[in-house]
Structure 1
Amino acid sequence: MKALVADAINEKGIENLKEIAEVVVDTSISPEELLETVGEYDAIIVRSRTKLPAEVIEKADKLKIIARAGVGVDNIDVNAATQKGIMVVNAPESTSITVAEHTMGLILSTIRKIAIADKSTKAGKWEKKAFMGMELRNKTLGVIGMGRIGSQVVNRCKAFEMDAIAYDPYLPPEVAKNMGVELYENIEDVLTRADVITIHVPLTPETEHSISTEQFKLMKDTALIFNCARGGIIDEDALYDALVSGEILGAGLDVYEEEPAKDNKLFQLDNIVCTPHIAASTKEAQRDAAIIVANEVITLFKGKMPKNIINMPRMHNSEFKETNNYLELCEKLGSFISQSASSPIKKLEITYKGEIAKLPNRELFTRTILQGILNPITETVVNAVNATTVAKFRGISITEAVSEDSEGYETLIKVSAKTKDGEMSADGTYLHEPKIIKINGYWVDVKPEGNMFIAKYKDIPGSIGAIGTKFGQQNINIGIMQVGRDSTGGEAIMILTLDEPATKESVEEIKSLDNVYDASSLIL
């Protein structure tokens, strides 16, 4: 076996890998050199420098596994790897402690004014009265997103004798109780009550600018807010105004709407501590990431299954060809349902119909559906291996069924999600590409791809025009429209493919229309 280490990783990972494979370390390999030599390797380990686009993966005829020594896989064409039958793994757990500790560093630096005190002291000043701070003890921590990192921040703040409250609609109350956290159903309640607010959610159309002008108005004027998750969750213009006006006391950021952030007006302020996206950058995290991915490669080379698989377990070529199209459909269906549901999913029912019902490996399809459902709502990457565990932790119950009746199609997959607000279902098939052919029982013909919008409305004259007008006012062009209905004058459903994402403002305006029952935007 031959492995390429294309980016700098901790030496311990390389040492482990050498026990089972011939290892080539070339951390300056160019895209042209990689394209020429990729066919020699059974495994490639990268971080963020090396890019693995489809054209490189296409030439990787021996490659069995790509390992990313970190969390994100934006530099890897995962779809191309999947089509080639190449496993993609990462090291999601390697940074949890590191990011949690960095969050604590920002909190302490801000509440005790350490950063500006350091600058002042080194300038030869002695301004003790200017740097009066506050204690964390008896303060209330508000956590937005109680995943792996958010829970680690809670553990550390408990040691400072802080109370903890949280907003996470996908966290079961009994889990929150075991963590010693008071769970709230509305984010507004957390923002109103918390002294220190920390954000640990993914960046999605729902979370983008979810902390903006209205949210800052809810916070205490002594509140502090921190973001080590993703840039864009906090509206930076609104944050600037809140800090300048004294609406809140301070903030700390490690991530920004535009990176690298070299010309950001927030940097002019003394009541914010800013770092250059380094929350995950520690020697320990890099060491752990290197060891984790090296062990994943070793596990595969020994004929066993790695645990941090981004795309799917490796299959024989014949099995892969038979199931690959269905896997793509499953992930699209899951993501569509997740983003369309108006509230957290509590129960999931999956029905396999037709030829797919005869395949022996349906568990992989279910896991892939869960992967599509969970990735838009969790901060850390969900894969085919951990999907069922994450779903259970989030309180989602899953049932499966099979049926011979595929309603005229060779294969049909129905995913039905039950929430506190009702039920959302989508039926899909594969006709040269993934297709959604039913939504909530209404016949449609939808390609689940790109910027999409879905609305439930009353089927009367003017309803469709009113929705289109709202998008026109926002200068958002509609590319494709699909509608379905049960009867004239009854409930109908509209699915749009847009040239650019629907803004939160346009979605809210459409939801407020008299004859619209619900609406949401999706990115697939």
Structure 2
Amino acid sequence: MSERQPRVLIREPIAESGLELLRERFDVVEDSDSDLGSIIGEFEAIVVRSGTMLDAELIERASRLKVIGRAGVGVDNVDVDAATRRGIVVANAPEATVVSAAEHTIALVLAVARNVPQAHAALIAGRWDRARWAGIELAGKTLGVMGLGRIGWQVARRALGLGMRVVAYDPYVALDRFRELGVEPATTPEALYAEADLITLHLPLNEQTRGLLGRDAFERMRDGVRVVNAARGGLVDEDALADAVRSGKVAGAALDVFDSEPYSGPLLQLEQIVVTPHLAGSTTEAQDRAGLIIAEQVAAALDGELVRTAVNIPVVEQADLEVLGAFIPLAAKLGRLAIALVAGRPSRIVVAAHGPLSEYDTRLLTVAALNGVFQGRVDQTVNYVNAPVIAAERGIDVSEQRFAASQHYTNLVRVVVAGEGEDVEVSGTTIGPDARLFLAGALGFAIDIELAPRMAFLVYDDQPGVIGRVGTMFGESGVNIANMAVSRTKEGGKALMAFSIDSAPPPELLARVAASGFDESRFITLT
């Protein structure tokens, strides 16, 4: 009897070229209507777009499933954690819409500069309003690009071609990359606001960037600024934008994304605002490209080959994964900690494995560390294929080191990040049968403390009473210190106090600590 062909369920339409690729090698079923819960257990692969929700319950029923292909960029409609627990690869097509999104951004820039939609609507309504809808030239104007990732880079190139001066803010891109493109770096968002005639956003949405363009940001911008957002809904405080437009502070805005979609809020009532219904990636070419890319990735997963766009599981030997598994989250937290501690733009990242751990495929540790460095700071998912590319795009050199010996621990992971000041080195290990994650070194000190979601680090002169004073400050602010470790270089020398806290420190505590004479004080979130 011939071996059964893997079955692929196409739940939502993809490009014919992608279908042809899959049909050549697998049993492909196109079915958008059947109850998914009753049939998903029959397939080794499923391909979806944004209209199919694959939650934990559905994934649990998918007893044969090896790969989920998302023909597009976002994977919000897939429970990636549930898939990972089941060993199911989740892949997307992150490069498919880059050009389309960049071109749509430029279209919005032109539209808001020349009032094209408003003039069109007026003429359709029978009004020949030439004077009212006179716009501005882009040549010679300054475009502020917030985020110089894949799409921001392409937007900057096109803006330069229009004769614009481009200033960009992205603290995770090396200065050489700015010079290579001919873009001027802004040291802070506020510095960009002060210079830009138009501002375009190309950032991920997270706790730090939500509502980035709010009332305070608008107040810091030039009078008559124009704002474009085709990146993520939620980056712009829509109520604050509406007020800024009404006051005349913002001359116009063009939005393709909104905090809640479909959008029906007050921005639609303002004639200075251009809106489109999340069209940045909606081109024939982008959709076709996404279909073909995801078909290639699904085929690779079913053939046991490298899945270039996997967002959760790299294809490695199971034996390596069993050993390295406990150290992957450790490397990610060390990367996140190192980038938070380094001063200025990173230029070099080194990931080192010490001990028996070094005998395995440590690329997993490198990508985990890079994931910690970049996650939430770049506009794409980081995986072990594209992590070096993401770093290279930002002018950051990445290297791995392996050492058979480990001085104080059986296994040790070390991450070094070089910035504009001194290099920052952190190290850690796992302890116990449940592989608890421990910090072993930071800021030039040996230290032994379990890593936690909220950490604080204080460097100070070693003298009596400091620990008690810190405990009192935190207690009076209602912040509980869950765990603490202290290390020093020598008696009477410099000391490091590292501790985990149960809640975020309030502003008054941060101000009090900053005024207390510590050499360094850092509060870091590692989630």
> What TM-score does the superposition give when structure 1 sets the normalisation length?
0.86
Q: How much does 1:299 deviate? A: 3.3
1:221-370 equivalence runs, <5 A: 221-256=223-258, 258-260=259-261, 262-339=263-340, 341=342, 343-359=344-360, 361-370=361-370
| Deviates further, 380-389 or 217-226 | 217-226
Q: Distance in 1 between matches of 2:234 and 2:474?
A: 27
Q: How much does 1:251 deviate? A: 1.6
Residues 410 and 20 from structure 1, CA distance in 2 versus in 1: closer, same or farther, beyond 3 angstroms?
Answer: same
In the other structure, the counterpart of 1:414 is: 414
Q: Distance in 1 between matches of 2:508 and 2:55?
A: 35
1:77-476 equivalence runs, <5 A: 77-256=79-258, 258-260=259-261, 262-339=263-340, 341=342, 343-359=344-360, 361-403=361-403, 406=406, 409-422=409-422, 423-429=424-430, 431=432, 432-438=434-440, 440=442, 441=445, 443-449=447-453, 452-456=454-458, 458=460, 459-467=466-474
In the other structure, the counterpart of 2:525 is: 522
Q: 2:324 is matched by which residue type in structure 1?
A: T
| Deviates further, 185-194 or 328-337 | 328-337
Q: Distance in 1 between matches of 2:90 and 2:243?
A: 43
Three-state SS of the structure 2 residue aligned to 1:129 is: coil
Kept in 2: contact 1:375–1:382 (CA 8 A): yes
| Deviation by residue 1:273-315 (Cα, 9 ceiling, x = unmatched) | 2233332222222111111100122234455323222223323
Q: How much does 1:201 deviate? A: 1.6
Residues 523 and 69 from structure 1, CA distance in 2 versus in 1: closer, same or farther, beyond 3 angstroms?
Answer: farther
Q: How much does 1:79 deviate? A: 3.5
Residues 468 and 249 from structure 1, CA distance in 2 versus in 1: closer, same or farther, beyond 3 angstroms?
Answer: farther
Kept in 1: contact 2:409–2:429 (CA 8 A): no
In the other structure, the counterpart of 2:27 is: 22
Residues 404 and 317 from structure 1, CA distance in 2 versus in 1: closer, same or farther, beyond 3 angstroms?
Answer: closer
Q: How much does 1:378 deviate? A: 0.9
Residues 240 and 330 from structure 1, CA distance in 2 versus in 1: closer, same or farther, beyond 3 angstroms?
Answer: same
Residues 511 and 137 from structure 1, CA distance in 2 versus in 1: closer, same or farther, beyond 3 angstroms?
Answer: farther
In the other structure, the counterpart of 1:475 is: none
Kept in 1: contact 2:327–2:429 (CA 8 A): no
Q: 2:438 is matched by which residue type in structure 1?
A: I
Kept in 1: contact 2:173–2:396 (CA 8 A): no
Q: How much does 1:455 deviate? A: 4.4
| Deviation by residue 1:455-475 (Cα, 9 ceiling, x = unmatched) | 4365454434445655x5xxx
Q: 1:88 is matched by which residue type in structure 2?
A: V
Q: Distance in 1 between matches of 2:416 and 2:452?
A: 16
Residues 495 and 276 from structure 1, CA distance in 2 versus in 1: closer, same or farther, beyond 3 angstroms?
Answer: farther
In the other structure, the counterpart of 1:62 is: 64
Q: Distance in 1 between matches of 2:475 and 2:34?
A: 50
Three-state SS of the structure 1 residue aligned to 2:29 is: strand
Q: Distance in 2 between matches of 1:511 and 1:132?
A: 53
Kept in 2: contact 1:456–1:519 (CA 8 A): yes
Q: Percent identity?
A: 32
Three-state SS of the structure 2 residue aligned to 1:486 is: strand
Q: Distance in 2 between matches of 1:141 and 1:39?
A: 51
| Deviation by residue 1:22-80 (Cα, 9 ceiling, x = unmatched) | 111222454xx33x433322222122232334444445443332211111222333344
Q: Distance in 2 between matches of 1:405 and 1:465?
A: 42
Q: Distance in 1 between matches of 2:205 and 2:446?
A: 31
Q: How much does 1:338 deviate? A: 3.5
Q: Distance in 2 between matches of 1:463 and 1:29?
A: 62
Q: Distance in 2 between matches of 1:424 and 1:510?
A: 27
Kept in 2: contact 1:351–1:414 (CA 8 A): yes
In the other structure, the counterpart of 2:49 is: 47
| Deviation by residue 1:99-129 (Cα, 9 ceiling, x = unmatched) | 1122112212211122333333333333332
| Deviation by residue 1:331-372 (Cα, 9 ceiling, x = unmatched) | 33333433454543333232323331232x112321222123
| Deviation by residue 1:83-110 (Cα, 9 ceiling, x = unmatched) | 4333222111111111112211221221
| Deviation by residue 1:478-498 (Cα, 9 ceiling, x = unmatched) | 576333322599554455455
Residues 220 and 383 from structure 1, CA distance in 2 versus in 1: closer, same or farther, beyond 3 angstroms?
Answer: same
Kept in 1: contact 2:226–2:250 (CA 8 A): yes
Q: Distance in 2 between matches of 1:508 and 1:278?
A: 42
Kept in 2: contact 1:442–1:484 (CA 8 A): no
In the other structure, the counterpart of 1:486 is: 487
Q: Distance in 1 between matches of 2:459 and 2:248?
A: 42
Q: Distance in 1 between matches of 2:355 and 2:144?
A: 48
Q: Distance in 2 between matches of 1:433 and 1:463?
A: 30
In the other structure, the counterpart of 1:12 is: 17
Of 2, 9, 24 in structure 1, the residue corresponding to residue 7 of structure 2 is: 2
Q: What 5-or-longer segments of structure 1 have no aligned partner?
A: 473-477
Three-state SS of the structure 2 residue aligned to 1:357 is: helix
Q: Distance in 2 between matches of 1:13 and 1:507?
A: 56
Kept in 2: contact 1:371–1:383 (CA 8 A): yes
Residues 14 and 289 from structure 1, CA distance in 2 versus in 1: closer, same or farther, beyond 3 angstroms?
Answer: same
Q: 1:265 is matched by which residue type in structure 2?
A: P
Kept in 1: contact 2:8–2:27 (CA 8 A): yes
Q: 1:412 is matched by which residue type in structure 2?
A: L
Q: Distance in 1 between matches of 2:113 and 2:128?
A: 19
| Deviates further, 280-289 or 421-430 | 421-430
